[in-house]
């Protein structure tokens, strides 16, 4: 009989980063956003277990009555612990008027408390932050589990990561694909689409929106025009509809889209997107358990694995193509430009990197292969810096 493994005491990297920020003399409100079921709450509890000062944790999931006074009560409970106490509000988006209430409390006694906010709906959180808390918070984006994290916690290898990588809660179901699929669909993807997006944002055709997600996950690390994407949807619409869908799925940490790199900004904005599902597991859901049997698709999934590592770094990520010449990823950080070519086994022209370097001679050429992926995934920023 299948059973879920005991959750390992693995600590994600964001915990130490959050701890360092909270230890500063007068930190801003710390806000954690990211997909469901990737360990945000677990990480905060790990931090609290060793926090040297006083703290108060509250979860808005426990709300019985929709009353803004609940937040005031939590703030006061933390304030009674003394100056500089740590207040953590989980599922904060479920508290009525949470952003306005916290704005007034913070402004009345700025930085009296150390405050951490998190929740399962990244779209709701980001919307509330933009409306009321501008200038008062620092945002930490927490993405899906990386290859290095899954290797450390569950002994993943690259093959397993390309099949199932992304959600640690699904590890115990991997031996039974149907059960694994049902868990991801019913416990993770549907709550994101049905609750976090469709109940919060205006979407005229929910069935079409769900169909778009399935289609997007079939194009890992591929450039595809808005017109072609629109043509696969079983309804009339325009390219603005597809762009809106991509914006919503990106905000929910499900599917990201990259723009084409160009020295001319207007060309970048007008480009076709390159599709990056947030983790390989989403592609396995769309393509089925035999996805890696196809060499072309396997190559795309490996390219996606490199792309999602780069996506988590500070800076900007693009792709580049000119006629038949292409570079898989262009990463820009501060004053440095990296041209990243992924050698994945799929057939493609080898001239793209050379063509790019002729146009941008100051860029740093980078080649990532399955043989060096372990070193790259262990420290992507360090891997790139060593080549600069």
Which residue bears the tokens 């669909």?
185
Q: What is the pLDDT of residue 128?
A: 77
Residue 206 sits in the same domain as residue 60: no
Give me the CATH number covering residue 89.
3.40.50.300
Mean pLDDT throughout 77-93? 95
Residue 84 sits in the same domain as residue 155: no
Domain count along the chain: 2
Residue 1 falls inside a structural domain:
no
Q: What is the pLDDT of residue 156?
A: 97
Residue 75 sits in the same domain as residue 125: yes
Residue 323 sits in the same domain as residue 340: yes
207 CA to centre of own chain: 24
Confidence of residue 236 (pLDDT cuts 50, 70, 90): low
Least confident of 16-30, 87-101, 266-280: 266-280
pLDDT in tens, 183-199: 999 999 999 999 889 98
Query: What pTM was estimated for this model as a whole?
Result: 0.90
Residue 274 falls inside a structural domain:
yes
Helix axis angle, 280-287 to 295-311, nearest 10°: 150
Mean pLDDT throughout 344-352? 72
**6 has pLDDT over 60:** no
Q: What is the pLDDT of residue 269?
A: 62
Confidence of residue 4 (pLDDT cuts 50, 70, 90): very low
Confidence of residue 363 (pLDDT cuts 50, 70, 90): very high
Residue 4 falls inside a structural domain:
no
Residue 307 sits in the same domain as residue 366: yes
Least confident of 87-96, 125-134, 165-174, 254-263: 125-134
Answer whether 339's CB lies under 8 Å from 108's CB.
no
6: CB partners within 8 A, 6+ apart: none
pLDDT in tens, 258-306: 999 987 665 556 689 999 999 999 999 988 877 667 888 899 999 999 9
Answer whether 142's CB lies under 8 Å from 14's CB.
yes
Residue 170 falls inside a structural domain:
yes
Q: What is the pLDDT of residue 263?
A: 75
Residue 167 sits in the same domain as residue 286: yes
Residue 240 sits in the same domain as residue 324: yes
Q: What is the pLDDT of residue 349?
A: 64
* Domain endpoint, select from 95, 110, 141: 141
Q: Which domain holds residue 129?
A: 13-141
**21 has pLDDT over 50:** yes
Mean pLDDT throughout 11-28? 95
Spell out where the chain has E strands: 29-33, 55-59, 86-90, 114-118, 137-141, 222-223, 255-258, 274-277, 316-322, 325-333, 336-342, 364-368
**225 has pLDDT over 50:** yes
Q: Which residues of 357-367 are buried (b: 16+ CB within 10 A; e: fewer)?
A: eeebeebbebe
* Domain endpoint, select from 91, 110, 141: 141
Answer whether 169's CB lies under 8 Å from 42's CB.
no
Q: What is the pLDDT of residue 111?
A: 85
């Amino acid at each position: 009989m299948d059973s879920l493994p005991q959750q390992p005491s693995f600590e994600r990297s964001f915990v130490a980063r959050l701890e360092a920020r909270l230890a500063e003399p007068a930190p801003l409100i710390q806000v954690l956003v990211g997909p469901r079921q990737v360990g945000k709450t677990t990480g905060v509890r790990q931090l609290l277990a060793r926090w040297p000062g006083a703290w108060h944790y509250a979860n808005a999931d426990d709300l019985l009555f929709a009353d803004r006074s609940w937040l005031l009560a939590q703030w006061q409970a933390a304030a009674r612990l003394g100056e500089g106490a740590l207040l953590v509000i989980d599922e904060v988006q479920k508290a009525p008027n949470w952003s306005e209430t916290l704005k007034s409390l913070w402004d009345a006694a700025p930085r009296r408390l150390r405050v951490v906010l998190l929740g399962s709906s990244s779209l709701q959180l980001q919307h509330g932050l933009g409306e009321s808390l501008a200038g008062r918070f620092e945002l930490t984006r927490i993405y899906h589990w990386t290859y290095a994290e899954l290797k450390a916690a569950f002994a993943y290898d690259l093959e397993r990561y390309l099949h199932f990588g992304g959600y640690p809660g699904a590890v115990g179901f991997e031996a039974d694909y149907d059960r694994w699929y049902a868990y991801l669909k019913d416990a993770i993807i549907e709550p994101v689409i049905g609750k976090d997006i469709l109940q919060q944002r205006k979407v005229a055709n929910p069935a079409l929106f769900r169909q778009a997600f399935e289609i997007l996950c079939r194009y890992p690390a591929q450039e595809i025009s808005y017109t072609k994407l629109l043509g696969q949807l079983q309804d009339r619409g325009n390219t603005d509809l597809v762009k809106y869908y991509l914006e919503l799925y990106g905000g929910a940490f499900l599917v990201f889209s990259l723009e084409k790199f160009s020295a001319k900004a207007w060309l970048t904005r007008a480009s076709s997107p390159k599709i990056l599902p947030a983790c390989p597991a989403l592609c396995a859901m769309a393509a089925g358990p035999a996805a890696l049997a196809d060499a072309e698709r396997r190559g795309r999934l490996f390219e996606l694995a490199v792309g999602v590592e780069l996506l988590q770094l500070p800076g900007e990520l693009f792709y580049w193509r000119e006629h038949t010449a292409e570079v898989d990823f262009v990463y820009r950080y501060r004053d440095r430009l990296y041209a990243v070519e992924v050698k994945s086994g799929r057939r493609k022209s080898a001239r793209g990197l050379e063509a790019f370097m002729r146009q941008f001679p100051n860029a740093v050429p980078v080649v990532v292969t399955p043989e060096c992926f372990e070193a790259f995934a262990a420290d992507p920023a360090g891997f790139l810096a060593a080549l600069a």
